[in-house]
Amino acid sequence: MKLRWAAGSPFVRKVTVTALETGLDDQIERIETDHRAAVSDLVNDNPLGKIPALICDDGTTLADSPVICAYLDSLHDGPTLIPAEGAARWNTLNLEGLADGMGEAAISVFRERNRPDDENSEAFEERNEGKFTRTMSWIEDHADLLDGPVTLGHIALGCALGWAAFRVSDLLEDRESRWPKISQWHDAFAKRPSMQATAPR
C-alpha cells in the first residue's frame, strides 16, 4: 500500500496511528505530497486534491481518513478499532466524526489567523472556535465514550487534540479545569507508543 501524506496533518497522523495500532505500518510506503501545489498528481488518487489518500495493493484508491482507517481496520487479526455492531459501533463512529470536526475547526482557526489582516474574518474565526469548544464540552459531558479499549474514535480525538495543542494552544487554555475528564484521558492516551511516534514536531 502507498500513502499520500504531508507533515502536520492531524488526519494523516490519524491514519499513521491506526497503522501502528493495527500492526500494518511496515506494509505502507509513504509518498510525501505537496497538496497545496497548483498542479499535482495527487488528484489522480484523490480528486479532491486532499491528503491523506491511500493506494491499495490492487490499485484501488481510498480518500479521506475515516475510509482509510476503516479499511486498515479490516486487514488485521487483532482487536478491531471499530466495533462490529451495536451501540459501541455507533458511539465510536460518532466520536470519530466529532473529533474530525474539531480538527477541521482548529485548522480553520489557524488558517484564518494567518491571513493578512485585511482578509481575516473575525466572525468566521469565532464560529470555528465555538465549534471546537462546544464539542469539547459535549464530549466532557459524555466522557464514558473515552472508557474501554482503544477505538478509532479515541485515535481521532487524540490526533485532533494534539494538533490543536501544537498550533492553536489557546483553544485548550485552562483545559484541566474546563474539561478535566478529557484532559486526564488525553494525558494518558498521548503516552501510547503510536502517539509518541507520531507527535507533531
- The pTM (predicted TM-score) of the whole model is 0.95
Torsion of CA 73, 102, 138, 171, to 10 degrees: 140
Answer whether residue 195 shows pLDDT above 80. Answer: yes
The 10s digit of each residue's pLDDT in 40-92 is 788 888 888 889 999 999 999 999 999 999 999 999 999 999 999 999 999 99
**pLDDT exceeding 90 applies to what percent of the chain?**
87
The two beta strands, 29-32 and 53-55, are: unpaired
| pLDDT higher at 160 or 117 | 160
Count of C-beta atoms within a 10 Å radius of residue 140: 17
Answer whether residue 118 shows pLDDT above 90. Answer: no
The pLDDT-based confidence of 37 (bands split at 50, 70, 90) is low
pLDDT value at residue 26: 97
